Amino acid sequence: MPQADVAHVAAKPAAHHAAHYAAIDFGTSNSAVALPAGGGTEGAAVRLVELEPGFFTMPTAVFYRADTPPNEREAERHYGRAAVAAYVEGQDGRLMRSMKSILGSTLLEQSTDIGGGRSVKYHDVVTGYLRHLRRQAEAAAGAPIERVVLGRPVFFVDDDGARDATAQAALERAARQVGFAEVHFQYEPIAAALDLESRATREQLVLVADIGGGTSDFSLIRIGPSRRGRLDRREDILANHGVHVAGTDFDRRVELASILPLAGYGALRPPRAGEPPRELPSGIYFDLATWHLINTLYSPARLAELRSMRAWYADPKHYQRLLAVLTLRLGHALAAAAEAAKIAVAEAGHTRIDLELWEPELAAYFDEAAAARALHADFEQIVGAAHEALRQAGVAAEAVDALYFTGGSTGLAPLVQRIAAGFSRAERVRGDRFSSVAQGLGWHARALFGAPAARRATRSAG
């Protein structure tokens, strides 16, 4: 287990009002912030901050505008959905996502070009995003906030304790730079399980399945009434294992299986004498189905590459449709259609994918059987990761009392059913798919900061 101190207080701030603390789930794909409700007393609940109009979670994304006037000290920035929208619209600048994944790497202190003759350190990208979250929290609280609980994965960096500690230290340094004087950490799977533990009447073994956009993580955790309120929960995490397969991979598979065959994916080139039939090159289709690579296809060089391939298409419609995607910049719209189709099939078993923006009366059909074929390999990897976590702990599946599902991709019922099939006696519990970690961190912050100072010091020492 990582040896980072999750109940760490490096500096005691001066007196604070009880309500002036926050909990931040700084996620790889999305982030959320929780504040105490009811004045910050220990018996109060927690509430989520509306980070964007109508949304309590926000994409962990920053867009640096390249057209910021040179006399401005820093590049203008958009955050969250506005950042993603600026990128999709093709504005000149640089989109930064998944900043959490660079913590613990040497990349953190390196600089990257953001356009307009400017560059920024990756560490400053993290700092800027945390500063934005703190400002949102302070606006919601109506007061300065100097104390925070931050979520952290069980391992920032697999199998490297030194780099793992470096990653937490880097995140703490960023938090202090934006104005938090007191910084604590709690493990994300523990935070997710706090909701279940608050209702537990006996000790239980819980497998937390956190399946988001980029990773599927499984943590085997011991919970129970006697453990409730403990601040240091390292000993309760028996094992953790994950794979870099999740929601964005599902979307890519769905697009390749249901939409891109209409533009030639998987089709054969015109036959040549003495040669067996050959499939069209797939690279352009894989890039088109990979969210962060879509904009690269709109460059003059990639368009010229496609135009040079015209004779390779046996069906002229395939070529014309692919050319239309690139010239009309429809890549992100098709990716969104694939994601919507994935959700629709999970809910209803079948769907008609309307593609009229691409071509009049064009549509694709996708159903449960096609989804099962497209996602089978990914689901198998994820189920394997769940059982690997148990193997590492030396625990049989029959010993697991509950499965706790959180993360956006646990909305896929077939995936949840596939995981649950291996745990016949475990209760299935669904947390909030997008904010259960933030809420759990809020409960932890309430226990830490809402308790009287003397009792808080005793708990921290334990």
- Would the pLDDT of 129 be above 70? yes
Separation between Cα atoms, residue 238 and residue 68, nearest integer Å: 49
Q: Which of 139, 223, 142 is nearest to 189 (CA)?
A: 223
Q: Are 309 and 281 in contact (CB under 8 A)?
A: yes
Amino acid letter, residue 98? S
Going by pLDDT thresholds of 50, 70 and 90, the confidence category of residue 40 is very low
Q: Which domains does the chain have, with CATH numbers?
A: 21-199+434-461 (3.30.420.40), 260-354 (no CATH)
pLDDT confidence of residue 244 = 87
The 10 Å Cβ neighbour count of residue 390 is 22
3 band by pLDDT with thresholds 50, 70 and 90: very low
CB 453 within 8 A of CB 426: no
- Residue 315: pLDDT band with limits 50, 70, 90: very high
Give the distance from CA 220 to its chain's centroid.
Answer: 20
Angle, CA of 65, 67 and 71, to the nearest 5° = 105
pLDDT, mean of residues 193-205? 89
Q: How is 104-137 classified by DSSP, letter by letter?
A: TSGGGGSEEEEETTEEEEHHHHHHHHHHHHHHHH
In whole angstroms, give the CA distance from residue 342 to residue 250.
8
Lowest mean pLDDT among 30-44, 322-336, 339-353: 30-44
| Three-state secondary-structure class, residue 277 | coil
Candidates 14, 31, 50; CA nearest to 146 is 14
Residue 352, pLDDT above cutoff 80: yes
Tell me which of 433 and 301 has the higher pLDDT: 301
Q: What Cα–Cα distance (Å) separates residue 33 from each residue in 57, 133, 385?
A: 8, 7, 29
Give the residue-averaged pLDDT of 318-347.
93
pLDDT tier at 456, thresholds 50, 70, 90: very low
pLDDT above 70 (res 453)? no
Give the pLDDT score at 213.
84
pLDDT, one tens digit per residue, over 366-403 is: 999 999 999 999 999 999 999 999 999 999 999 999 99
Cα–Cα distance for residue pair 270/315, rounded to 1 Å:
9
Percent of the chain with pLDDT over 70: 92
Is the pLDDT at 73 greater than 60? The verdict is yes
Least Cα distance to 238 among 255, 222, 215 occurs for 222
Average pLDDT along the chain? 88
- Choose the most confident range, by mean pLDDT, from 9-13, 81-85, 275-279, 345-349: 81-85
Across residues 14-39, what is the average pLDDT? 79
Mean pLDDT, to the nearest integer, of 194-208? Answer: 90
What Å distances lie between residue 449 and 147, 183, 194, CA to CA? 8, 11, 16
- Token pair recorded at residue 103: 């913590």
Q: Which DSSP string corresponds to 9-73?
A: -SS--S---TT-EEEEEE-SSEEEEEEESGGG-TT--EEE---BTTBS-EESEEEEETTS-TTSS
pLDDT of residue 44: 52
Torsion, Cα of 396, 399, 402, 404 (10° steps)? -30
The reported pLDDT for the residue numbered 16 is 44
Exposed/middle/buried for residue 202 (C-beta within 10 Å: 0-12, 13-18, 19+)? exposed
The CA distance from 343 to 330, in Å, is 20
Q: How many Å apart are CA 178 and CA 130, to the nearest integer?
A: 7
